[in-house]
């Protein structure tokens, strides 16, 4: 039996395969700029977290207060064995081997995140901070270039900000994604627009602003930042939560790139060239 989808792809296979110019240079350069910066920010951020592996909500931190929302620590049990314990909102999980206690049996490391997840791999807060702040400036600069460039060339308005029609199309797009049926016409679909808008216009600014809130000199210059986020400890927790959300986005993003055709998708983000034959048949430029 031939379905409408089958006959559509048979028809498009019979026709010549048009290659369009999809992503502008600014879109491509900034994309790889923030992808690289986020990689090092993630690993060096976990190194910094390891220096005090507890997150709080509120103005205070310390033994006298009970406002922690997450902690990762090695805990010695009655028998003398040391286990890794991760506590989230009062619920504790044994995470021995990855969080709290890691490394081979004979050379156990008692640290929140394991060596393979931090830069540098050994415990060194000072180097972690140098790496983190270096890539934070890169991310902020790349983001500013993307924002200004995309506002000027129309990418922001046309391809990122979802309109009313995109909001209406969301349920159908969601179902189509669940069925791995991608209506790629060279433009972003409504789910892409929404997720990219959330990443670029909510997560990135939130990440940069909560990062600035943790800087003592910024607190002195812009005290309203500390008030905005309810204190430096809360800003640190929001910073960590946004990191987790970005990680979740990243996992789905990569899965979608592979599901939609990795070679064509990657080529479009590297060279700009995109073959619309392997997806669907209209062109567009982001
Ligand atoms: C944490 C790292 C990453 C973030 C935050 C991120 C975020 C984004 C965003 C916001 C866009 C839309 C950009 C725009 O239109 O201005 C995008 C597009 C894209 N990204 Fe990523 N990305 C990341 C890593 C990656 C990686 C590692 C790959 C390759 C495997 C990748 C492949 C792509 C492709 C192919 C597109 C174009 C999608 C399309 O044309 O339909 N991304 N990404």
Of the candidates 247, 235, 248, the residue with the CA atom closest to the CA atom of residue 208: 235
Cα of 81 to ligand 1 centre, how many Å? Answer: 44
Region(s) of the chain under CATH 1.20.950.20:
29-53+124-265
Cα of 210 to ligand 1 centre, how many Å? Answer: 23
The pLDDT of residue 286: 56
Give the HSE-up count for residue 156: Cα atoms under 13 Å, Cβ half-sphere.
14
| 27 Cβ inside 6 Å of ligand 1 | yes
What pTM value is reported for the model? 0.89
CA torsion 156-159-164-168 (nearest 10°) is: -150
Atom 12 in ligand 1: residue holding the nearest Cα: 196
Q: pLDDT-based confidence at 15, cuts 50/70/90? A: low
The pLDDT of residue 2: 31
pLDDT at 106 over 70: yes
- Do 266 and 1 contact (CB within 8 A), yes or no? no
pLDDT at 135 over 50: yes
Atom 39 in ligand 1: residue holding the nearest Cα: 265
The pLDDT of residue 58: 87
Q: What are 186-218's pLDDT values in tens digits?
A: 889 999 999 999 999 999 999 999 999 999 999
The pLDDT of residue 277: 62
pLDDT at 13 over 60: no
Q: pLDDT-based confidence at 64, cuts 50/70/90? A: confident
| 161 Cβ inside 6 Å of ligand 1 | no
The pLDDT of residue 186: 80
- What integer best gives the mean pLDDT of the chain? 90
Question: For the domain with range 29-53+124-265, which CATH number is right: 3.40.50.800, 1.20.950.20, 1.10.260.40, 1.20.1730.10?
Answer: 1.20.950.20
Of the candidates 231, 196, 225, the residue with the CA atom closest to the CA atom of residue 209: 225
Please give the average per-residue pLDDT across 246-267, as a whole number: 95
The pLDDT of residue 8: 37
The pLDDT of residue 16: 62
Q: For 252-283, give one letter per residue: b (16+ CB within 10 A) or e.
A: ebeebeeebbeebbebbbeebebbbbbbeeee
**Residue 116: strand, helix, or coil:** helix
The pLDDT of residue 105: 87
The least confident of 145-149, 251-255, 260-264, 282-286 is 282-286
| 38 Cβ inside 6 Å of ligand 1 | yes
pLDDT at 184 over 80: no
- Do 250 and 31 contact (CB within 8 A), yes or no? no
Residue 65: CB partners within 8 Å, gap ≥ 6?
56, 58
């Amino acid at each position: 039996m031939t379905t409408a989808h089958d006959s559509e792809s048979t028809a498009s296979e019979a026709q010549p395969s048009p290659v369009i110019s999809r992503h502008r240079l600014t879109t491509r350069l900034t994309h790889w700029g923030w992808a690289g910066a986020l990689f090092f920010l993630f690993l060096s951020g976990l190194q910094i977290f390891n220096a005090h592996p507890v997150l709080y909500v509120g103005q205070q931190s310390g033994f006298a207060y009970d406002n922690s929302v997450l902690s990762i620590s090695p805990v010695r049990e009655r028998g003398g064995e040391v286990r890794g314990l991760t506590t989230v909102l009062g619920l504790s999980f044994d995470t021995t081997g990855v969080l709290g206690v890691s490394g081979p049996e004979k050379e156990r490391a008692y640290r929140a995140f394991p060596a393979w997840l931090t830069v540098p791999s050994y415990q060194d807060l000072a180097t972690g901070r140098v790496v983190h702040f270096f890539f934070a400036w890169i991310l902020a600069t790349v983001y500013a270039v993307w924002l200004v460039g995309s506002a000027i060339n129309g990418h922001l308005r046309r391809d990122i900000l979802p309109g009313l029609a995109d909001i209406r199309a969301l349920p159908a797009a969601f179902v189509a994604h669940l069925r791995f049926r991608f209506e790629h016409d060279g433009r972003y679909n409504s789910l892409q627009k929404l997720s990219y808008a959330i990443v670029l216009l909510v997560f990135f600014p939130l990440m940069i602003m909560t990062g600035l809130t943790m800087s003592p000199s910024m607190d002195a210059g812009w005290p309203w930042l500390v008030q905005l986020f309810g204190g430096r400890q809360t800003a640190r927790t929001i910073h960590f939560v946004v990191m987790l959300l970005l990680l979740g986005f990243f996992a789905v993003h990569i899965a979608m790139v592979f599901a939609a055709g990795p070679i064509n998708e990657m080529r479009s983000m590297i060279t700009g060239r995109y073959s619309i034959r392997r997806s669907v048949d209209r062109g567009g430029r982001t």
